Structure 1
């Protein structure tokens, strides 16, 4: 996140000081307003002192005017506006307007550490709103205090921060090397928006690490294809090779053909890999009925789950759901895998709510097992 983007977030808040600064017009001719002579005199004196830069003296004259009994509502309004203006001009944080003005001025002057301190004055005057807290969090980031930024966000934004705050939190966490917080922020952004840029960052974080099996990596690359974040020859090729390795030949063929249609895969190596995928897919399809019968006769349902996953890769979502459910009903050795495959098939069949329930069942089998992470990624995909 660039400084210019961060600064753009503050525009609405900073523009809010303009109405207060409009009190300067009152100072130019207070006598023209509907004020009595007894009130007008100290106001004129306050104006003269303010124009001379004597804000302390001007404030004293305004206090004198304020103490006059029997003032009209209009006179009180003018006095309060002039007080706000003088507080702004003098940097006096004893009033809400002055505190907000100093806050805005310090941010514009890139005095980020002072902006952070200014937050206490805003809080004192009960004007510390969500917009100003966002600016303070940005000030921590722009001052180089990434850990301070993370702590401030955690302590002040509750359980449902805005997407703007989450984006800042993600950036701070990345710079601070806090992968857990970075991932949490990314997952929430993906859940809220489904934007490809957030999916790309989240999936890149998920591709590697201890405990990642080839099947886990395949699932991450499958999501890359589905979310539109797969890019470049290497990623298409990796996805196709993993599919071939795990005997999902029709899926590999489809991936390679999509890469060619996108003008990403154009070399002879791709043609050879595609020819291999096609020949293997043809052989597998020829034996499909025989393999299905054998899986149905097996004592456990893992083979049926495998066939269902292959059907998913062929675009047969409803068939995949039925096959995988039949496998689960027989009992399976790898329950996590079966639930992930069922969830994927349910998404393809248009049953996203049921898919999320299937993914929610998956729990890590060991400290390094990535099944739950993979299931959670697919669950996020099912929300959109």
Structure 2
């Protein structure tokens, strides 16, 4: 027996065996393996395989010698592009019963990738599951798993695995991986799980507030069953706030919706943003854009002139509906604190047509007053199936990002 110090160092560098294992090599096995390791470092994988075969031809090999031969054969074959030989060698090494826990994970991962290269997706999937069950945290392995599941068309399995990874991250207080959220959203779309996909998109904009993710979320919201048109202005507010409102007709539509709802100052601000962005005030419709701006300015003046009278009448009313509306208008016009006060008075008065809408308006007014924590608390308490709760949750997410 010999320790073969040079071989030990060479194979340790290649990740093929431990120092203790290398000490059990006989010279007739160790020397060709040493040569194979040196050839591998020189980029000569095929020549290295020939040396491994020389070592394997020695008779009376111990289990430990066979293990090291298999590991070196697998490493050389993988680098030579001979995935069939690599898979056979790695399986023999894995089944030896002499690998540590970490080595088993590494070997199972190698087998998964080797079989995927051989287009044997069934075996590749088996070794992916083996590696994961042993504790693998490899992101590359998870990507391979997603590819294999997608190739099999098993999107229910993809959704289950992605949801498990997301839940585990959230329970541990970590942000879920962006890739897991995207995998889940895609699988939910392919399995026609619209409500589940929208919930996943909400998580995407919460954890990764990218413009495109906001666009996808806001694009799907009005298609949800039962979504009410009365939240069209809120939807456009969210689009504007996330950089997803850029077209001329979008600025025009949003300003007109604001005017119709009594938000004259907000309508004027929207038009001004359109002019500043170059979306309004140019082209064949330039005069129409200017008329819209003039109308917003006129209605703003009329609203301001009658405000005290309107507030007095709303205060004297039997219900709080008018106070909630006036408070929401004031908040949008740049007076959020006064708006909050009026909305709260209206809610206290009661007899509201839509109590959950009132909470939504209060939460948005708190957002505009920069009271992030109270805004989020109020918005997250909103209930309903007509879109009010969805809008409120998205406002709450936006509040946390402002």
Q: Same fold (TM over 0.5)?
A: yes
1:316 corresponds in structure 2 to 335
2:278 corresponds in structure 1 to 263
Which of residues 359, 369, 382 in structure 2 aligns to 1:349?
369
Report how far residue 349 of structure 1 moved: 0.8
Native 8 Å contact 2:28 2:58 kept in 1: no
* Mapped pair 1:64 → 2:62: yes
Report how far residue 219 of structure 1 moved: 0.9
1:199 corresponds in structure 2 to 214
Which of residues 286, 289, 294 in structure 2 aligns to 1:275?
294
Alpha-carbon separation, structure 2, partners of 1:57 and 1:230: 69
Alpha-carbon separation, structure 1, partners of 2:245 and 2:320: 32
In structure 2, the CA distance between the partners of 1:66 and 1:232, relative to structure 1 (3 Å rule), is same
Matches within 5 A, 1:137-152: 137-141=146-150, 144-152=153-161
Higher relative contact order (CA 8 A, sep 6+): 1
Alpha-carbon separation, structure 2, partners of 1:145 and 1:379: 35
Moved more, 132-141 or 315-324: 132-141
1:252 corresponds in structure 2 to 267
Alpha-carbon separation, structure 1, partners of 2:121 and 2:346: 60
Alpha-carbon separation, structure 2, partners of 1:61 and 1:292: 100
1:181 corresponds in structure 2 to 196
Report how far residue 156 of structure 1 moved: 5.3
Alpha-carbon separation, structure 1, partners of 2:325 and 2:227: 19
In structure 2, the CA distance between the partners of 1:322 and 1:22, relative to structure 1 (3 Å rule), is same
2:321 corresponds in structure 1 to 302
1:129 corresponds in structure 2 to 137
2:392 corresponds in structure 1 to 375
Which of residues 236, 251, 259 in structure 2 aligns to 1:236?
251
Alpha-carbon separation, structure 2, partners of 1:296 and 1:282: 22
User: How high is the TM-score relative to the length of structure 2?
Assistant: 0.74
Report how far residue 202 of structure 1 moved: 0.8
Native 8 Å contact 1:321 1:345 kept in 2: yes
2:113 corresponds in structure 1 to 104
* Mapped pair 1:190 → 2:199: no
Native 8 Å contact 1:87 1:93 kept in 2: no
Which of residues 91, 94, 118 in structure 2 aligns to 1:93?
91
In structure 2, the CA distance between the partners of 1:62 and 1:298, relative to structure 1 (3 Å rule), is farther
Alpha-carbon separation, structure 2, partners of 1:168 and 1:60: 50
Alpha-carbon separation, structure 2, partners of 1:54 and 1:186: 52
Alpha-carbon separation, structure 2, partners of 1:168 and 1:45: 46
Native 8 Å contact 1:43 1:65 kept in 2: no
In structure 2, the CA distance between the partners of 1:157 and 1:345, relative to structure 1 (3 Å rule), is closer
**Gaps (5+ residues) in structure 2?**
1-10, 37-46, 78-85, 95-103, 170-175
Alpha-carbon separation, structure 2, partners of 1:220 and 1:20: 60
Native 8 Å contact 2:163 2:184 kept in 1: no
Report how far residue 51 of structure 1 moved: 2.9
In structure 2, the CA distance between the partners of 1:21 and 1:114, relative to structure 1 (3 Å rule), is farther
* Mapped pair 1:328 → 2:347: yes
The secondary structure found in structure 2 opposite 1:207 is: helix
* Mapped pair 1:118 → 2:105: no
In structure 2, the CA distance between the partners of 1:195 and 1:129, relative to structure 1 (3 Å rule), is same
**Gaps (5+ residues) in structure 1?**
1-18, 27-33, 68-78
Native 8 Å contact 2:324 2:342 kept in 1: yes
Which of residues 14, 17, 32 in structure 2 aligns to 1:22?
14
In structure 2, the CA distance between the partners of 1:157 and 1:112, relative to structure 1 (3 Å rule), is farther
Alignment root-mean-square deviation, CA? 3.4
Which of residues 29, 47, 56 in structure 2 aligns to 1:42?
29
In structure 2, the CA distance between the partners of 1:22 and 1:243, relative to structure 1 (3 Å rule), is same
1:84 corresponds in structure 2 to 71
Report how far residue 345 of structure 1 moved: 0.6
Alpha-carbon separation, structure 2, partners of 1:157 and 1:186: 13
Report how far residue 211 of structure 1 moved: 3.1
The secondary structure found in structure 1 opposite 2:189 is: helix
The secondary structure found in structure 2 opposite 1:87 is: helix
